[in-house]
Structure 1
Amino acid sequence: MTDILTRKSGRAGHITLTRPQALNALSWEMCLAAETALDAWAEDPEVALVILDGEGERAFCAGGDIAEMYRRGREGDVAFGRRFWADEYRMNAKLAAYPKPIVSFLHGFIMGGGVGLGGHCSHRVVGESAQVAMPECGIGFVPDVGGSYLLARAPGRLGAHLALTAARMGPGDAIHAGFADLFVPEAGWGLLKERLIETGEVSALEEAARPAPVSPMAAARAEIDALYGSGELVAIEAALAGSESELAQAALKQVRRNSPLSMATSLEMLARLGPRPQDITAALAQEYRVAFRIMSEGDFLEGVRAQLIDKDRTPRWGQALDGVPAEKVAALLAPLGEDELAL
């Protein structure tokens, strides 16, 4: 069995990730296969909408499959990762600008590359098992796959909190933060997909939707805005350390664990995008500048080693939390000239 299944059913194009044993982790080949299907259906009169989902109970897609990228990078082959990221980001942009409705069904883990796949669709359905997160700073990277665009658009300073802590969003939080649109109990997904396939009409979504669960992050809006209001890593760490709240103390532990360079760069990325950006391509271009350099100038290889390869959970980051040089952040985000991302 392949890791992705693309087919036409009734009035729908249907893309299913079929790698549940690996939490549907997104490989380069899966990205290319999804893009090929999307291109074929864009002007196909038989396809009125696209359905995007994942097999298994544990995850829609828990992220990108970066093991091969790490291995190549350790051998000095940084070009492999650059090509992978360029192709993935191009697919993310196509999802966001697709001329037909795309309905993503988000359950279980939706992280990193999973957000890039399901989070930019026109109609994002989230179920009760959803756990959405952008955990890249923990592996020495930055929120990518258009994730920085979603984070910048989140209410108040919530985007900074999510970027720096990889805090997991349940369905209510995901809708509040702008990572999902509708809550539909998962028991009704099968029937809903059948209706979409039969009719090709997205009106079935509103009929199936139920009130979103409570969002703890919405309730904590004032506290999050105060803790992250400075936009500066050192000041945020101090604010977290100075608060005795459960939210702040949990965030502090994660901030002290993640790559300082990655967190500082993520904050600068959000600042450059500004609140409520309208163009995902600007976010993807910025993310690609970091991705292009991250293996040779950042903490990515060490972060992946510590978290996913050796699993010793003791990464040796290149900078201290209170000592990230501004010039290193600027260098990661500097224009690439002829190597800029082409969408």
Structure 2
Amino acid sequence: MSDDILFEKRGHAGFVTLNRPKALNALSFDMVRALARQLTEWESDPQIAHIVVTGAGDKAFCAGGDIRSIYDARQAGETEGLSAFFRDEYLLNAQIKAYPKPYIALINGIVMGGGVGVSVHGTHRIGTEKTMFAMPETGIGFFPDVGGTYFLPRMPKKSGVYCALSAGRLKQGDALATGVLTHAVSADSLADLEASLETATDIGAALAPFLVTPERGPVSEHLEEIGKAFSAESVEEVLNRLDASDTEFAQKAAAAIRGKSPTSVLIAFEQMKRGGDLSFNECMKLEYRIVSRILQGTEFYEGIRAVLVDKDQNPNWTPSQFGQVDSADLASYFEEPQGGDLPLA
């Protein structure tokens, strides 16, 4: 068993620790598979009443998946099996969503990408004042996956669509107001909260003494404006509505969207439109279709190069303009992949 993820029975609880603090607890393929196996084992264990997931260190709960390894494999010419990580990760997300026991994520610090996938689908998402949520995938030529197709369109006033397109960040107050978090606590109380959860028979009662009321954040302040802009029927119209606003918030959102991969933004917008009407498992199947197609292209690898490898923060997107993205090419991301759909009922 790798030390990158730790499992421990403490009282009535099964504790999971994502244990790669130097890598901001980014999920590796081995961690994904180990967590899936352990959840399966604990599901039938009568001594385990609920699951508690934490991240080592105080910087991040989990900052995403270990996508650098996928880039390195592609660079080495190892193109077979690149989708296996995402297949197993998406199956894990579905397992967490359907888990029959309470699944409690204690979020302290950064929670992005794959970290969202192992937290937001649980029954309890408890965040501290250090919480910083984002789905930054359009900035690396990717798309907001790990169940983003399901939960982002269901966030109030199109705030999830805003997050998907702009990679907008939510701190504790905004994350609670939009439903990313179910509860807010202080980071100083986490050790005592964990101890309480070890013996808790009523999770709500165990949480109650620790709950705090966070300050409102900028997204909460601008929910009405977000709703008006991001309810548009096209990315072009979203940008037009943001451009027509005289608020700094709208101008920053428009600039952020224009800095992302045009292909990724258009994929994410279509993904958000479809996801609101799909079941969770249907959403995961859709994401597997998208990722299977993305792995065959160039945008994702160019995004990783610019952000994680060369770190010049200057990706060369192809095409570079929204109007240059071919509609037939865009449609191909939503078709069944050659190897078949994700095996979910």
TM bin (shorter chain): over 0.9
In 2, Cα distance between equivalents of 1:47 and 1:139:
39
2:283 equivalent in structure 1: 283
2:102 equivalent in structure 1: 101
1:153 equivalent in structure 2: 154
- TM-fit CA distance, 1:33: 1.2
In 2, Cα distance between equivalents of 1:61 and 1:168:
15
- Mark the runs of 5 or more structure 2 residues left unpaired by the alignment: none
Residues 80-89 or 191-200, more deviating: 191-200
In 1, Cα distance between equivalents of 2:238 and 2:200:
50
In 1, Cα distance between equivalents of 2:135 and 2:258:
17
Q: Is the 8 A contact 1:26 1:113 kept in 2?
A: yes
Residues 94-103 or 327-336, more deviating: 327-336
In 2, Cα distance between equivalents of 1:179 and 1:150:
8
1:184 equivalent in structure 2: 185
What code does the residue aligned with 2:13 have? A
3-state DSSP class of the match of 1:79?
coil
Identity of aligned residues (%): 37
Cα distance change of structure 1 residues 305 and 66 upon mapping to structure 2, 3 Å threshold? same
Q: Is the 8 A contact 1:72 1:80 kept in 2?
A: no
2:306 equivalent in structure 1: 306
- Of 215, 225, 231, the residue aligned with 1:229 is 231
What code does the residue aligned with 1:268 have? E
Q: CA deviation digits over 1:109-144, x for unaligned, max 9?
A: 000111001111111101101000000000000000
In 1, Cα distance between equivalents of 2:100 and 2:338:
30
In 2, Cα distance between equivalents of 1:273 and 1:11:
36
In 1, Cα distance between equivalents of 2:332 and 2:298:
10
1:45 equivalent in structure 2: 46
Cα distance change of structure 1 residues 74 and 242 upon mapping to structure 2, 3 Å threshold? farther
- Of 242, 247, 250, the residue aligned with 1:248 is 250
2:60 equivalent in structure 1: 59
Q: CA deviation digits over 1:159-205, x for unaligned, max 9?
A: 22101111110111112222110001111111111111123431302
Cα distance change of structure 1 residues 243 and 254 upon mapping to structure 2, 3 Å threshold? same
What code does the residue aligned with 2:303 have? G
- TM-fit CA distance, 1:107: 1.3
2:342 equivalent in structure 1: 341
- TM-fit CA distance, 1:244: 2.8
In 2, Cα distance between equivalents of 1:231 and 1:117:
31
> 2:199 matched to 1:198?
yes
Q: How does 1:79-94 map to 2 (within 5 A)?
A: 79-94=80-95
What code does the residue aligned with 2:313 have? R
1:216 equivalent in structure 2: 218
3-state DSSP class of the match of 2:82?
helix
What code does the residue aligned with 2:289 have? R
Residues 133-142 or 219-228, more deviating: 219-228
Structure 1 length-normalised TM = 0.95
- TM-fit CA distance, 1:215: 3.5
Structure 2 length-normalised TM = 0.94
In 1, Cα distance between equivalents of 2:311 and 2:200:
48
What code does the residue aligned with 1:310 have? D
1:119 equivalent in structure 2: 120
- TM-fit CA distance, 1:298: 5.2
1:321 equivalent in structure 2: 322
What code does the residue aligned with 2:283 have? A
In 2, Cα distance between equivalents of 1:290 and 1:311:
26
